[in-house]
Amino acid sequence: MLALAVALGVGSLWLITGKFVQPIDDTPLNTHVISAGRGTVTLPATDESRQAGVYGLIWKDDSTGERRQGTLGPIVRADANTVSRELAQYGTPPAADAEAKISVTVWAADPRRALGLDYRDVTYPTEYGPMPAWFLPGTKSTWVIQVHGLGAGRSAGLRTLPQLHALGYPVLDITYRNDPGSPHDAGGNRQFGDSEWRDLEAAVRHARAQGAADVVLYGFSMGGGIVETYLHRATDASAVRSAILDSPALDYRAAIDAIASGLGLPTVVGGITATFMELRSGADLDALSENRRAGGPRQPVLLFHGTDDRVVPHSTSVAFARDWPDKVTLVTVEGASHTGAGKADPDTYDKHLAAFLARTV
C-alpha cells in the first residue's frame, strides 16, 4: 500500500512538473463561462474576473477540443456572484459553461492583427537553426529585444509594442529553443534560462549585424530570468545599454513555493517539485538564482512588479533592488498580478518606461 502511494505521488509530481518544463500552454482552465452575448461575457465573480484592465480570455471549444482566445475588456456590470465584461473575440464567442481562464496575455495574434502595427517575420541564426522572431522597424539606432516567459509566446510583448514604436525603437520580439514552431534541442524541455540565454545572445548578435548600434533587453517573467542569466554569463554583453524586467523570475525556488502555497499545498511540496523540475529539465535552479546575486547587474535595470503576483513573489524583486540600489529601479504596482503591472496602472507603467529609456539610451 505504501509503495502504491509513493508511486502515485511520484507520478503526480511528474505530471505537475511537466506543466513547467514542457513548452506548451496547457495550463489549467480554472473558471467557466456563464453566458456570452454580443460583445460581452459573464464569468463567476473572482479576484481575477474583477481586476481592472484588459486581459485575454481563453476558453475550450467543446466541439473541436481546441482553445480559443478573445480580449477581455472593461467591466459592464457586476454583483456578488457574477462579473460581465466586454469581450472581443476572433470568430465564434464561447458557449455557456465552456471551461475558461483569464490570461495576462491579451492577444493571440500578430502585431498587425492585434495592434495595426507593421512588422516582418524574420529569423535569427542559433546553434539549433533559424529562430523565428517579429521585427518592427523604428527610427532609432538602439533596438529593443523582447523575451517572453513560460508558455506565453511572443504575444506577451504586444502590450509594450505601441509605446516602443511611438518612441521610435526598432523591436525584435524573439522566440527561443523549444518554443512551438522553433528549433528544439535534444531534450525539448524548458531549462529556465540555463540554456535559453544562448539564444538571446544570438539575437543580440543578429541585431548588431543588422545595424543596431546597441540594444535594450526587455524580459517578461521567465524571460526576465533569461535576460539576467545572459547578462551574467555572456563573454561580451557590451552591446546592452540597459534592461527592463517585468515580474522577473529571479529565484525559481521562491516562485515554486509561492505557486504551491497558492494551491494550498504543504511547504514541503514546493521543495520536492523543484527537485523534480531539476531532474526533468537538467537546469540547476540554485545556480540560476545565484546569477542574480553574484556581482550584481552592470547595466541599469528597470523592474516592474505587482504586489499580488502569485507566481513570482514580489519580495524577490524587492531583494534584487535592495541589493543593487545603484543599478536597479523598482516600480511596485499595488494589487497587480503576474506581469499585470501595465494593465493595473498603465499610466505609471508607461511613464516610468519612457523616462528610463530616455535616461539610459
Q: How do residues 189-239 score in pLDDT, each as one tens digit?
A: 888 899 999 999 999 999 999 999 999 999 999 999 999 999 999 999 999
Ranges in the chain annotated CATH 2.40.30: 33-103
Q: What are 232-259's pLDDT values in tens digits?
A: 999 999 999 999 999 999 998 888 888 7
111-360: CATH number:
3.40.50.1820
With 80 as the cut, is the pLDDT of residue 116 above it?
Answer: yes
Topology annotation, domain 33-103: Elongation Factor Tu (Ef-tu); domain 3 (2.40.30)
Pairing of strands 301-306, 328-333: parallel
Band of residue 134 on the pLDDT scale cut at 50, 70, 90: very high
Q: What is the pLDDT of residue 287?
A: 83
Q: What are 290-304's pLDDT values in tens digits?
A: 766 677 788 999 999
Q: What are 155-165's pLDDT values in tens digits?
A: 889 889 999 99
Residue 247's CB: how many other CB atoms inside 10 A?
Answer: 31
**Three-class DSSP category at 154:** helix
Ranges in the chain annotated CATH 3.40.50.1820: 111-360
CB 243 within 8 A of CB 292: no
CB 292 within 8 A of CB 250: yes
Distances (CA, A) of 316 to 103, 247, 258, 327, 351: 22, 9, 11, 16, 23
Distances (CA, A) of 282 to 67, 124, 161, 265, 269: 30, 25, 34, 25, 19
With 90 as the cut, is the pLDDT of residue 141 above it?
Answer: yes
Nearest to 299 by CA among 351, 356, 349, 353: 356
Band of residue 264 on the pLDDT scale cut at 50, 70, 90: confident
Cell numbers for 86:
466586454
Query: What residue spans of the chain are helical by DSSP H?
Result: 2-21, 47-50, 111-115, 161-166, 197-209, 222-233, 252-262, 267-281, 285-291, 314-323, 341-344, 346-360
Q: Distance from CA of residue 351 to its chain's centroid?
A: 21
Residue 209's CB: how many other CB atoms inside 10 A?
Answer: 10
Band of residue 129 on the pLDDT scale cut at 50, 70, 90: very high
* Average pLDDT of the chain, as a whole number: 86
Exposed e or buried b per residue across 163-180, where buried means at least 16 C-beta atoms within 10 angstroms of its C-beta: bbbebebbbbbbbbbbbe
